[in-house]
Amino acid sequence: MKSLLIKTILSITILGALVACTENKKPEINFPPTDLTVANMIPKPLKTIATNNAFGLDQFTAIYTSQTENGFAEVGQYLSDKINEVTKLNLLVNERSENSVDRIIYINQSDSTDLATNESYQLYITKDSAIINSKTAEGAFRAVQTFRQIIPETSNDTLAEQPIWPIPTGKIIDAPNFEYRGSMLDVARHFFSVEDVKKYIDLLAYYKYSILHLHLSDDQGWRIEIKSWPKLTEVGGSTEVGGEGGGFYTQEQYKEIVDYAAANYITIVPEIDMPGHTNAASVSYPFLNGNGKKVKLYEGTHVGFSTFDTRKDTVYAFIDDVVREISAITPGPYFHMGGDESHVTKKNDYIHFVNKVEKIVKKHRKRMIGWDEIVTADIDSEAVAQFWASKENADLAVKKGMKVILSPAKRAYLDMQYDSLSKHGLHWAAFVPVDSAYIWTPENYEGIPTENILGIEAPLWSETISNIDELEYLAFPRAIGHAELSWSTQENRDWDNYKVRLANQAPYLDRMDVKYYPSKLIDWKKSKYSYTEIKKD
Ligand code: TNX
């Protein structure tokens, strides 16, 4: 109690001293009235109240954090870097400035009971200060994304020597609707470089995603170095769909992705898909193969023809090594065992296999996720089912008391074509235009009780895409809508309102050089980078 009091007094003193610097200041600028409630925030916050003034972000603004430990100073520096990307301003973090400081952004660790989760935050913006309150640096990081989204792309006067970016004033109270807010990248059908994955992480972080699931193995490729089984990458990683090159992440590179994701408060979920989708592993080590045929590298796009031999102890010894090595470099709580489309595995063998793998995953202290088919085995309620196709399996998961991740293909699959003219993508589940990807209700989806829903994941399978431009074409803008579906409450989601905010993402997407699909359903805002116009030709 006493320390809390001291901390509060200290914070007030710092604030007071800083704002006191403003006593001998320049004349006040009168900005036109603002309205925070119509700012272009995605996902839409829980509660937004406008006070119609402006906080002038300029070179006389400084960033302070109430504590430098537990990630807070890093979040302050991240904010400064991101402000620099838009404005070229260099805001000091936790340093006394030689210039006078007119306004401050103060990131405050708070144990207030109003902050229900680690990701909850409050953002209070007045003319002189922007204050973020959160329990953890994770909450502050989510708040910082909101702050970034309300910085105008251009200053009040681009020709002025000391430009100012007017930020609308008001209060935001925010918290996530679902904790699991994910996307998946299939780096197995086509390989994507560490740089590509990092760019995807940057974009996901901006929209408050918390999970990136990496589909690290499939028939066409094995993409993660396993030191005890080196041929997996030497042989299994040597090709991809269409036969060009392939590739894999060394464990060092995988750790680099994991660390980069962690700095963006995104958890990596690694997937080794089995017992089906295992041709690349079986080519590397033929004793694994259980389909009775001779295996060779595969560069096509069929599914369902491969299986591990589920009755051999050596297969489980192999899996134990794989799960152990990957778990050791994965700080997040999950390990995804795939389990989908094992069409050539006998039903009994499949159940036996999933039961065995569940034990291995537990032994390595991870919580197992699997595609919805895994619920047909005798797994316990700790495991998580990812609902992509079978409602029957989803119901069975609920019966078993399991959590479910919603990835209904006809809504959430990012690899579905927008329409019949889409350059990339498949349409086996549906054509998924931008509105259809957004207009559905995860709460109680197809009768699954909301309390069983861990969250939503938007998977991007890569049979039809082989580079980052094509990846971005399918993922954006639909991934932005899934972010809102998983963070914002049902009352705060509305297509007509969303589509205006989405249109206003164009300047950000252009600045990030994202080759999004410029759907005609959206009246894209022109940006000073004018990339959208070029694309519309
Ligand atoms: C189904 S979804 C698959 C993938 C394909 C995808 C293409 C799932 C668990 N399996 O193997 O890549 O469709 O849309």
Span from the CA of 461 to the centroid of ligand 1 (angstroms): 7
- pLDDT at position 53 is 97
Query: In the prediction, which pLDDT does 29 show?
Result: 74
CA 460, CA 67: separation in Å to the nearest integer? Answer: 39
Q: What pLDDT, on the 0 to 100 scale, is given for residue 338?
A: 98
DSSP 183-226: EEEETTTS---HHHHHHHHHHHHHTT--EEEEE-EETTEE-B--
Cα-only R_g, the chain: 25
Q: Nearest C-alpha to atom 6 of ligand 1 is from which residue?
A: 461
Residue from 216, 337, 341, 428 whose mutation best tests the ligand 1 pocket (most atoms within 8 A of CB): 341
341 lines ligand 1 (CB under 6 A): yes
Q: Which residues are catalytic?
A: 341
Burial 42-56 (b: 16+ CB within 10 A, else e): bbbbbebebbebbbb
What are the backbone dihedrals phi and psi of residue 13, each rounded to the nearest 5 degrees, phi first?
A: -65, -45
Q: What is the CATH number that goes with domain 2-174?
A: 3.30.379.10
Distance from the alpha carbon of residue 430 to the mean position of ligand 1, in angstroms: 13
Atom from ligand 1 closest to the CA of residue 388: 2
CA of 301 from ligand 1 middle (Å) equals: 10
Tokens 């993508």, residue? 425
CA-CA distance, 141 to 122, in Å (whole number)? 12
The atom number, within ligand 1, closest to the CA of 461 reads 12
Q: φ and ψ at 260, to 5 degrees?
A: -65, -40
Alpha carbon nearest to ligand 1 atom 2, residue: 388
What φ, ψ does residue 121 adopt, rounded to 5°?
-155, 160
pLDDT for 11 equals 53
138: left (phi over 0), alpha (psi -120 to 50) or beta: alpha
Ligand 1 pocket: which of 190, 461, 464, 474 to mutate (most atoms within 8 A of CB): 461
Domain with CATH 3.30.379.10 in the chain: 2-174
Q: Write down how long the chain is.
A: 537
Q: For ligand 1, is residue 387 a contact (CB within 6 Å)?
A: no
Q: Is any ligand 1 atom within 6 A of the Cβ of residue 533?
A: no
**pLDDT tens across the length of the chain (537 residues):** 344 444 444 454 455 545 444 444 565 678 899 999 999 999 999 999 999 999 999 999 999 999 999 999 999 999 999 999 999 999 999 998 777 899 999 999 999 999 999 999 999 999 999 999 999 999 999 999 999 999 998 888 766 778 999 999 999 999 999 999 999 999 999 999 999 999 999 999 999 999 999 999 999 999 999 999 999 999 999 999 999 889 999 999 999 999 999 999 999 999 999 999 999 999 999 999 999 999 999 999 999 999 999 999 999 999 999 999 999 999 999 999 999 999 999 999 999 999 999 999 999 999 999 999 999 999 999 999 999 999 999 999 999 999 999 999 999 999 999 999 999 999 999 999 999 999 999 999 999 999 999 999 999 999 999 999 999 999 999 999 999 999 999 999 999 999 999 999 999 999 999 999 999 999 999 765 544 444 443
Please list the residues that pair with 183 across neighbouring strands.
212, 458
- Ligand 1 centroid to Cα of residue 398, in Å, is 23
Task: Pick the residue whose CA is nearest to atom 9 on ligand 1.
Answer: 340
**Atom from ligand 1 closest to the CA of residue 462:** 12
Q: Which residues in the chain are classed under CATH 3.20.20.80?
A: 184-309+317-347+365-374+403-493
Residue 388 Cβ < 6 Å to ligand 1: yes
> What CA–CA distance (Å, rounded) separates 43 from 481?
8
Residue of minimum CA distance from atom 13 in ligand 1: 461
Pocket residue to mutate for ligand 1, from 274, 301, 303, most atoms within 8 A of Cβ: 303
Nearest ligand 1 atom, CA 371: 9
Q: What is the pLDDT of residue 347?
A: 97
String of DSSP letters for 332-399: SSEEE------TTS-HHHHHHHHHHHHHHHHHTT-EEEEEGGGGGS---TTSEEEESS-HHHHHHHHH
CA–centroid distance, 458 to ligand 1, in Å, is 12
Give the Cβ contact number of residue 500 at 10 Å. 13
Classify domain 184-309+317-347+365-374+403-493 at the CATH class level: alpha beta
The letter for the amino acid at 90 is: N
Nearest CA to ligand 1 atom 8: 340
The pTM assigned to this predicted structure is: 0.95
Q: Is 312 helix (H, G, I), strand (E, B) or coil?
A: coil
- Ligand 1 center–CA 303 separation, angstroms: 8
**Is residue 378 within 8 Å of residue 351, measured between CB atoms?**
yes
**Helix 478-487 to helix 495-503 angle, to the nearest 10 degrees?**
130
CA atoms within 13 A on the CB side of 533: 6
Residue 430 confidence (pLDDT): 98
What is the distance in A from the centroid of ligand 1 to the CA of 41?
32
Q: CA–CA separation, 164 vs 166, rounded Å?
A: 6
CA 328 and chain centroid, separation: 22
Residue 151, C-beta contacts closer than 8 angstroms, at least 6 positions apart: 57, 83, 86, 87, 165, 167
| Ligand 1 within 6 A of CB of 303 | yes
